[in-house]
A and B are shown apart, each in its own frame.
Chain A
Amino acid sequence: MAQSIEKLNRIAIEPVTRVEGHGKVTLLLDDRNHVRQARFHIVEFRGFERFIQGRPYWEVPVIVQRLCGICPVSHHLAAAKAMDGIVGVDQLTPTAEKMRRLMHYGQILQSHALHFFHLCSPDILFGFDADPQIRNVIGVAAKHKDLAVQGVMLRKYGQEVIKRTAGKKIHGTGAIPGGINKNLSITERDELLKDLAQMKEWGLGALKLAKDYTVEHLDWLADFGSFPSNHLSIVREDGAMDLYHGRLRAIDAEGNKIFDQVAVPRYIDYIAEEVRPWSYMKFPFIKSLGAEKGWYRVGPLARVNTADFIDTPLAEEARREFMAVTDGKPNNITMAYHWARMIELVHCIEKIDELLHDGDLQGEDLVLKGERRPEAVAIVEAPRGTLFHHYKVDENDQVVMANLIVSTTSNNEPMNQAVRKVADQYLDGHQITEGLLNHIEVAIRAYDPCLSCATHALGRMPLLVQLFDSRGNLLDRKTR
């Protein structure tokens, strides 16, 4: 870290584009123009944790999903799972659990498709240095029409799954405390089955694209914004990847287990959050390792690394290929997130296939009730990573405490690490070059950060980059 900040040059990239929400990057340089400090700022604040206080517990799954329009289902389900605990239900009916899983897989499918096809593919199809006028989703639509259509259709399919399980494509009401409010009719099932084979084919195509790109550029990507780190996710009791339910597992950069099969309510004994004055995002860390070394990555890369196996054949085959690249050790390459994300996309399609052929989805037993409890914690693996929801509810049924640790928050320190690494590699003197901007954005984008989730912000601004000397004079300014 920089010792004497006032003597350093400062570069700001604001906002970072093609991520969900917006943030900015500042780089502090020393006299020899080496990056001494890199910060990925999240500058907005929404404060859902505060304003759901006083609301009744059954409202929470519907309110908190308004954090985001990209993966609201993750918040909807994490809150609903926590509220299962509040109403004393530990095991849902098969219909309720499977309907929620179907909703979740539809959600991850649409979110991963959006990210890969719309946000990431311009970088890997056109190269990081390509003209920003072309290196965007419109450019993809012009030059690779089939791929653009597949992206739109895969996303649409995921949204259709959500609509049939939650009632609406965005901000539905399906999951309620103790269960679900609808089953899947035969008509709805058949509508979804109709396009499934096509989705699988396109999903496998995207997986191949992500894999081939990573393997072809492996030597270069291995160093691009990459660093050893811990990885965290939930896994099933048998160690399988499970995106909806499981117990916590954390591994280090070599694959050694830091903890395993930790029951979700005990998360607070293992994870703490550090507050830093320059960002509204907190910095979570593994308590036993301390704030300095305990930060960890979450999301597709972490999940593929932590899982012992995936319980669907095509995704498992892909996972084995993925792990073979690093000889079975955890993959710490930032850009490998894209490959891991597409493994999960295929896994979701396989899971949807499995569920649509399960008669339990047409069951009538939807909601259970138990004995009210004052506190509950729930975790789901959201598209961007592990999502914690923790609530306390008083005897009048009103929420008195809420703590949400969202995926992008967990990836906060990793994104800062990636920015510092890339900036150091690509900063050329004290000029702001397109190349520098592009490479930093590509590294951040690999994490698919959702800034509206992390601090709960919305909006869009033109890109502004400013370079200051150590006395605060503006040396260079660039807008996009």
Chain B
Amino acid sequence: MSNTITFSIDGKEIECKAGRTILDAAEENGIYIPRLCHRKGVSPHGSCRVCTVIANGKPMAACTTPVTPGMVVENDAEEVTAMRKAIIEMLFVEGNHFCMFCEKSGNCELQALAYRFGIAAPRYPYLFPHREIDFGHPDVFIDHNRCILCARCIRTSREIDGKEVLGFVERGPRKKVAANAEHGLRETEIAVGDEAMAACPVGALMPKHVGYQVPIGKREFDHEPIGSDIEKEAKASTK
């Protein structure tokens, strides 16, 4: 029995090992599928839906859907792009994302996706929720205003750092990341060197005291859109 299966993305025939997700198989073939909650090295979550593709005619999360033989995937399609843009815009209006002074600007995946999709302003009304900030820890803080509930910090902290310091509490619009302690982060073992700190795609879980130390022009997404690294690798390997 062959361990390789064949499927197509946007009409392009692709081979991959059986058991791969659509997102991983695409990435191995130099096709970038936008994502926010997905992070290499930790278990997929499938919650943000930014990686939505049309697989065999149905919208599916590419980060959790395994490839099947002959699967037809639409990634670069008008319908898909429209869904992704709507999701990104909803994330913007749901929280309080002030890019103009946010220390994550230029390194923020949410902002970078908005730029990649050419979103100048969200079509939905801002909700301006009242959110708390946990500044009690000497080296680390959580600004819930910017949290998009992707759970990357929670999964990374558990699976990579081996700590039980973060988790979700509440439901619906009140859902939030919380420290596994009565009085917030300062009573947990979270440390500035944890891999979880690097996992946050936005400016929610951040190290203290070091904001803006990377000058404009040297930040991650200052020069090329998010996903360019994946697309570049593909171009380089086909040369």
Q: Report how far A172 CA is from B216 CA in the complex, Å.
A: 7
Find chain A residues with CB under 8 A from B215 CB. 167, 173-174, 181-182
A236 to chain B, nearest CB (A): 29
Q: Is the CB of B216 within 8 A of A59?
A: no
Q: Is the CB of A66 within 8 A of B217?
A: no
Q: Report how far A272 CA is from B209 CA in the complex, Å.
A: 33
Find chain B residues with CB under 8 A from A133 CB. none
Of B81-89, B133-141, B225-233, which stretch is located at the interface?
B133-141
Q: Is the CB of B136 within 8 A of A58?
A: no
Instruction: Report whether over half of chain A's contact residues are helix, strand or loop; otherwise say mixed.
Output: loop
B112 to chain A, nearest CB (A): 17
Find chain B residues with CB under 8 A from A56 CB. 135, 141, 208, 211
Residue B103, interface by CB 8 Å: yes
Contact of A397 among B208, B212, B217, B218 (CB under 8 A): B208
A166 to chain B, nearest CB (A): 8
Q: Is the CB of B135 within 8 A of A397?
A: yes
Residue A367, interface by CB 8 Å: yes
Contact of A367 among B100, B141, B213, B216 (CB under 8 A): B213
Most buried by A among B100, B136, B209, B218: B209
Interface residues on B, range: 10 to 19
Residue A143, interface by CB 8 Å: no
Q: Is the CB of A181 within 8 A of B212?
A: yes
Find chain B residues with CB under 8 A from A398 CB. 133, 135
Q: Report how far A62 CA is from B106 CA in the complex, Å.
A: 14
Find chain A residues with CB under 8 A from B209 CB. 58, 87, 177, 397
Q: Is the CB of A59 within 8 A of B101?
A: yes
Most buried by A among B141, B209, B212, B216: B212
Q: Is the CB of B212 within 8 A of A176?
A: yes
Contact of B101 among A63, A174, A181 (CB under 8 A): A63
Contact of B212 among A62, A66, A87 (CB under 8 A): A62
Residue A247, interface by CB 8 Å: no
Residue B214, interface by CB 8 Å: yes
Residue A478, interface by CB 8 Å: no
Find chain B residues with CB under 8 A from A396 CB. 135-136
Find chain B residues with CB under 8 A from A445 CB. none
Give per-residue flags for B136-160: 1 if the beta carbon is below 8 A from chain A beta carbons, else 0: 1000010000000000000000000
Query: Can you name the residue of chain B whose Cβ is closest to the Cβ of A398?
Result: B135
Instruction: Report whether over half of chain B's contact residues are helix, strand or loop; otherwise say mixed.
Output: loop
Residue A54, interface by CB 8 Å: yes
Residue A293, interface by CB 8 Å: no
Q: Which chain A residues (146-179) contact chain B, with CB distance < 8 Å?
A: 166-168, 171-174, 176-177
Q: Is the CB of A58 within 8 A of B216?
A: no
Q: Report how far A398 CA is from B101 CA in the complex, Å.
A: 16
Q: Report how far A166 CA is from B135 CA in the complex, Å.
A: 28
Contact of A171 among B100, B135, B213 (CB under 8 A): B100
Asked whether A66 and B213 contact (CB < 8 A) given A396-B135, A398-B135, the answer is no
Find chain B residues with CB under 8 A from A167 CB. 215-217
Find chain B residues with CB under 8 A from A62 CB. 101, 103, 211-212
Asked whether A59 and B135 contact (CB < 8 A) given A66-B101, A173-B216, the answer is no
Q: Report how far A59 CA is from B135 CA in the complex, Å.
A: 13
Q: Is the CB of B133 within 8 A of A54?
A: yes
Give per-residue flags for A32-67: 1 if the beta carbon is below 8 A from chain B beta carbons, else 0: 000000000000000000000010101101110010
Find chain B residues with CB under 8 A from A61 CB. 212
Find chain B residues with CB under 8 A from A58 CB. 103, 208-212
Q: Report how far A167 CA is from B209 CA in the complex, Å.
A: 20
Query: Can you name the residue of chain B whose Cβ is closest to the Cβ of A178?
Result: B209
Most buried by B among A54, A171, A173, A398: A173
Find chain A residues with CB under 8 A from B213 CB. 176, 181, 367
B residues with CB within 8 A of A: 100-101, 103, 133, 135-136, 141, 208-218
A residues with CB within 8 A of B: 54, 56, 58-59, 61-63, 66, 87, 166-168, 171-174, 176-177, 181-182, 367, 396-398
**A-B CB proximity, top 5 nearest:** A167-B216, A182-B215, A396-B135, A58-B211, A173-B212
User: Can you list 14 A-B contacts with CB-CB less than 8 angstroms, sorted by A residue number?
Assistant: A56-B135, A56-B211, A58-B208, A58-B209, A58-B211, A59-B101, A59-B103, A62-B101, A62-B103, A168-B216, A173-B212, A176-B212, A181-B213, A397-B141
A56-B141, A397-B208, A397-B209 given; 6 more Cβ-contact pairs under 8 Å: A58-B209, A58-B211, A66-B100, A173-B215, A176-B211, A176-B212
